Amino acid sequence: MVINPYGAVKNQSAMSMSRRRALAFMTSNLALSGLGLFGVIRPAQAEITSITTAINRAGYIRALSQQIAKAYIQIALDVIPGKSNDIIIASQALIQRNIQQLKMTAAPDNNRQLDGLNTQSVALASVIAKTPSKANSLTVSLQADALLLEADRATRFYQGLSSSSQAKVINVAGRQRMLSQRTAKLYFLMQAGYDTKEIRSELQNSRNEFNTALDMMTGLPITTPSIKGEMELAKQQWSAFQVSLDQKPNPAMMRNVATTSERLLEVMDSLTNQYDQALKDMLGKIDQNPVTLAGMF
């Protein structure tokens, strides 16, 4: 891969954002519920009481890793920089909250599985503490991918503890959250000067994987009227997102990619949480409890 030697963006507001993110990460009491792209407060998350929710929370870190990198590159490109910085702060806090909640489960070998997650999340916080620049965008993207791999490993670990094959639904639905952010991140990486064959291939693969999983989810037997409605909304948001991706890049279109990717993430997160609840209702909360049944799956 060819790395273009762009100079760092040095302006007072970008440097101020970096300091704010570093402070927010060290004092992560703030905004654990998080801010969306439009300033919407994310609902506070309940404690983890089921194996499906553990899969859900670990899987969400995959999306957050890509969302942070995407938002960092957006700042470097001057795409909604203020809101992008809010996203980074909220997503970092949510990663730490999810890791801490996962540590409280009694799943066998739990702490060892989470060590890598914690290490890579700290490493990502370190690289994004630098003033956002095109030159540092690839480094941030690669570190986000390292966190993604650890989060995926943890997600599969929790899925393997479930007594039900239906738990895979949470993994697949949750992975769509990550693909929505990864697709946008790769798009912005190209706009930052990394328009290579490899990046283009990764972007197309992400889009193909999202399409395949969306088709699979459409035919799932686990459904409710609410899930059906959310699925239709997901399809609409995915279509709007793809239209934005296919347009000639310009400031307005890059803003569209940023905003539609956030809307798609919100819809896919809602859908994943609804599948989580539907599985709890179907299988029974006690049977899914990793605290009371640790080591028995």
**What pLDDT does 25 receive?**
47
Question: Cα–Cα distance between 150 and 155 in angstroms, integer?
Answer: 9
Question: Cα–Cα distance between 57 and 68 in angstroms, integer?
Answer: 16
For the chain, the domains span 12-283
DSSP label of 195: -
**What pLDDT does 1 receive?**
36
φ, ψ (nearest 5 deg) of residue 95: -60, -50
**What pLDDT does 294 receive?**
35
Q: Which residues contact 186 (CB under 8 A, 6 or more apart)?
A: 199, 202, 203, 206
**What pLDDT does 279 receive?**
86
The residue ranges of DSSP E strands in the chain, in sequence order, are none
Question: Rounded to two decimals, what is the model's pTM?
Answer: 0.83
pLDDT mean for each 10 residues of the chain (297 residues)? 33 55 47 41 58 93 99 98 98 96 83 91 97 98 98 94 85 97 99 98 98 93 91 96 96 98 98 91 56 31
SS3 state at 138: helix
| Structural tokens at position 297 | 């799956």
Q: Which residues contact 243 (CB under 8 A, 6 or more apart)?
A: none
